[in-house]
C-alpha cells in the first residue's frame, strides 16, 4: 500500500497568512494526488484534483503543486472559513490512501 504522510499535523495561523501543507507519498504517484477540506461534523470537500487542478467553485487562494512523491497545498491568504482539517489522497492505486490530516487552527 502507498503511505501518505502530511506535515505538519497541525498549525496555527492568522487570517491573511500564507499557509503551505506538504504531502509525501511512499512511492511515485505521478500527479494522482487530491486535496480535501473537512470541517467538524461535515463531509470532506474536494479542493484540488490531479495535484494542481482547482475544483469548480473553490476559491483561487487555494493552489496545489507537485508530482512524483512530493506535493503541496497552499492557501495564499488564509480566511476565517479556511480553518479546518486538510487531507491529501492518492488515486494512483487501490487502496486509495489518505494522509493523516493537517488541522489548521486560529492563532
Which secondary structure element, helix H or strand E, spans residue 10, and what is its range?
A: strand 10-13
- Between 49 and 68, how does the x/- string for binding to other proteins read (CB under 8 A)? xx----x-------------
According to the binding rule CB under 8 A, does residue 71 interact with other proteins?
no
Q: Which is nearer to other proteins, 24 or 96 (CB)?
A: 96
Answer for which of 24, 61, 65, 96 binds other proteins (CB under 8 A) is 96
Pairing of strands 10-13, 53-54: unpaired
Cell readout for 67 is: 508530482
- Cβ-contact 86, 104 below 8 angstroms: yes
Binding site for other proteins (CB under 8 A): 32, 34, 36, 38, 42-46, 49-50, 55, 87, 89, 91-92, 94-101
Amino acid at each position: 500500500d502507498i503511505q501518505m504522510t502530511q506535515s505538519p499535523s497541525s498549525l496555527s495561523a492568522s487570517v491573511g497568512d500564507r499557509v503551505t501543507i506538504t504531502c509525501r507519498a511512499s512511492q511515485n504517484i505521478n500527479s494522482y494526488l487530491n486535496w480535501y477540506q473537512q470541517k467538524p461534523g461535515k463531509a470532506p470537500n474536494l479542493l484540488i484534483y490531479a495535484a494542481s487542478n482547482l475544483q469548480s467553485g473553490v476559491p483561487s487562494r487555494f493552489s496545489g503543486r507537485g508530482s512524483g512523491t512530493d506535493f503541496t497545498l497552499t492557501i495564499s491568504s488564509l480566511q476565517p472559513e479556511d480553518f479546518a482539517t486538510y487531507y491529501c489522497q492518492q488515486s494512483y492505486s487501490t487502496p486509495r490512501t489518505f494522509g493523516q490530516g493537517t488541522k489548521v487552527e486560529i492563532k
